[in-house]
Structure 1
Amino acid sequence: MTERAIRGRLKKTGAVLAAAVLVPWIGAAAATAAPIHAPVLRAPVGGYQDLFVPSSMGPIKVQVQWAARGGSAALYVLDGLRAPADHSQWTTDTDVLRQFAGDNVTLVFPVGGRSSFYTDWYRPSSTNQQATTYKWETFLTRELPAFLERYGVSRTNNAIVGASMGGNAALTLAGHHRDQFKFAGSFSGFVHPTFPFWNEAMRAAMWDEGNFNVDDMWGPAGGPTWRRNDATVQAELLRGLPMYVSTGNGLPGPLDLPNGVGNTVNAMVLEQMTAAATQMFRDRIAAGGIAARIDIGNGTHTWPYWQQAIATARPMILDALGVH
């Protein structure tokens, strides 16, 4: 697909992006973290736990499935734009907990952050009376690792993956924090947000998902913060990092049948956009001689495909973390 064709498709489809991402707000009760009086040498052996982690944004709920044999490696799993306030959709809309239940790696699901793009914002959103400034990069790379370290989880032997909103974030966080992450994966991610028309598509999506203002996130379109948070622009930072990037092409299949015609149409449009961005990311890293596994096949912007994607990524993640 030529860049002119991609530009035209994005311009036509960006206006309908908002309709595909509208979701009701789910409130969450504030909680505080239980004190831990002394470090432990090993993570808990298996099992599931809800943690409440202190942060500059207030206590953040983190769902954790501990490594099966008490190992120190961890996989951070990021939600999409619709991220609920009380749970990660990965834990309810996929079988990821079962997939990794026997593996010696701790699964880490940060909860919340809808429309945040898991980044540090300039200021609170000015269009929805947001009380605090999103500081998700700080949380995921400083506050949360420091908290998990007290449970025996490594600060340096981690992988990170995400779907949709979380896909580009997984790549950029890994690129800027190579000392922390040894693998990154993006599933249907918006991996080239500085490309023309993407900023307006994101503006529409974030407005419909909580009345958030994209200008308060990264400032003027195309500025330095936009470029810093663009996986395609920052591709050089990913050189040598094991990566898996996947997207559908917008063509529905059997996995879409339960979703209904309206949802499927929206999911088709969204996935056509992520496919275009993924193609540009693929071309950029190929031109630079940067290795990654990139799959573009049939599918739409829905959880069953992301469940398949993380299953495909699983052996790559375990290998990168040295978990056998």
Structure 2
Amino acid sequence: MAAASLVVVPATALAENGTATVQKGSVGYLAKFTQNSDRKVTISVYSPSMDRNIPLEVILPADMSQPRPTLYLLNGAGGGEDSATWQRRSDVADFFMDKNVNVVTPLEGAFSYYTDWEKDDPKLGRQKWQTFLLEELPPVIDTTFGTNGIQSIAAISMTATSVLNLAIAKPGFYESVGSYSGCAETSTWPGQNAIRTVLALRGGADVTNMWGPLDGPGWVANDPVVNAEKLRGTELYISTGSGLPGPHDRLDGPGINGQVDTLAEQIIVGGVIEAATNYCTHNLANRLAQLNIPATFDFRPGGTHSWGYWQDDLHNSWPMIARSMGI
């Protein structure tokens, strides 16, 4: 493997344990850099809009002899703060071992929908993730890792909505989007019910602090189905199962470990959630077809809301994502 010459944090700033602390600036900046291995680093980036450091994990390209693109790979509702992460529930580390791409994953953002909230929430605090992901973070990533400035984004479940929302907020910023098992609608009852389930029931937040009253303009402005025209020119891979049991819903399936109660929950709860995302995804497919906007849809005949299918989705969408970034 080529020397890691494109990680441009000065070697003199690194302590023996591989940690670097960088001086504060007036914009987003690298606050901490820890080299965990030759291919994996953990960093913290200061967010002016949220006034705190955000931890992120970065998988480095297989060959760093020249600038490479970046894939922003988001975790689900837990935002990387729980055990339901790409690193713990999938083969992501092995999958990207031979890929020439920087893979960047935030390790915070639980129940935030990775968007800019109108008001600070008593439970979740200040959430300005759209500003962070679109404006504050990319320049730091590009400078620190010597990227070529090309980026795509992919995510699951809650954040499968977020990546489409981010794409309509800044059309053309991402070369491609991978959205796995999400509900793109935010201004309809099905979409808002999904959001209430995540924010209120799981996160304990007031949903109106995010985009205002449910019947207000904020929910329409952030609806990728309503604003689908803004997705034109971005390559799209959108997937969902039917909610019926599929090939990973068995006792020897990923994460089940022979546990009958775990399998039952995946089939029942995961089946209901996936049936809802299937409904939303069909509505998005119909909308894009009406506008003659090309997209790749994978409607699986079976499959629940679970990690085995999301790993498959990442693998299946990668050829499109890689091609869009010139890999």
Contact 1:194–1:227 (CA<8 Å) still a contact in 2? yes
Q: Which residue of 1 aligns with 2:97?
A: 101
Counterpart for residue 59 of structure 1: 53
In the superposition, the TM-score normalised over structure 1's length comes to 0.82
Q: How many angstroms does 1:36 deviate by?
A: 7.6
2:185 is the alignment partner of 1:192: yes
* Structure 2 residue 293 is matched with structure 1 residue 306: no
| Mapped partners of 2:314, 2:221: distance in 1 | 26
1:205 to partner: Cα distance: 2.6
Q: Does 1:266 align with 2:269?
A: yes
Deviates more, 1:294-303 or 1:52-61: 52-61
Distance 1:83 1:267 in 2: 19
Residues 1:124 and 2:128 are matched in the alignment? no
Structure 1 residues 236 and 217: alpha-carbon distance in aligned structure 2, compared to 1, 3 A threshold: same
In structure 1, how many angstroms separate the alpha carbons of the residues matched to 2:207 and 2:107?
A: 21
- After superposing the two structures, state which structure 1 stretch, 268-277 or 255-264, moved more: 255-264
Contact 2:242 2:304 in 1 (8 A): yes
The one of 129, 144, 152 aligned to 1:151: 144
2:5 aligns with none
Tell whether the 8 Å contact from 1:88 to 1:110 is kept in structure 2 after alignment.
no
User: Quick one: structure 1 residues 104 and 46, their matched pair in 2 at CA, closer, same or farther if it must change by over 3 Å?
Assistant: farther
How far is 1:175 from its partner?
A: 2.6
Is it true that 1:286 corresponds to 2:289 in the alignment? yes
CA gap 1:217/1:266 in 2 versus in 1, 3 angstroms: same
Q: Give the TM-score, by structure 2 length.
A: 0.81
Map of 1:182 onto structure 2 = 175
Report sequence identity in percent: 33
- Please, what is the CA RMSD of the aligned residues? 2.3
Structure 1 residues 311, 287: closer, same or farther in 2, change over 3 A?
A: same
Unaligned runs of 5+ residues in structure 1 are: 1-31
**Where has structure 1 moved over 4 Å in runs of 4 or more?**
none
Q: Deviations over 1:216-272 (max 9, x none)?
A: 001111422212222111110111211100000001123122232123200000000
Partner of 1:250: 243
Distance 1:36 1:151 in 2: 14
**Displacement after TM superposition at 1:135 (Å):** 0.5
SS of aligned partner of 2:21: coil
Query: How far apart are residue 121 of structure 1 and its match?
Result: 0.2
2:77 alignment counterpart? 81
Q: Structure 1 or 2: larger helix share?
A: 1
Q: What SS class does the counterpart of residue 151 from structure 1 fall into?
A: helix
User: Offset of 1:322 from its aligned partner?
Assistant: 0.4
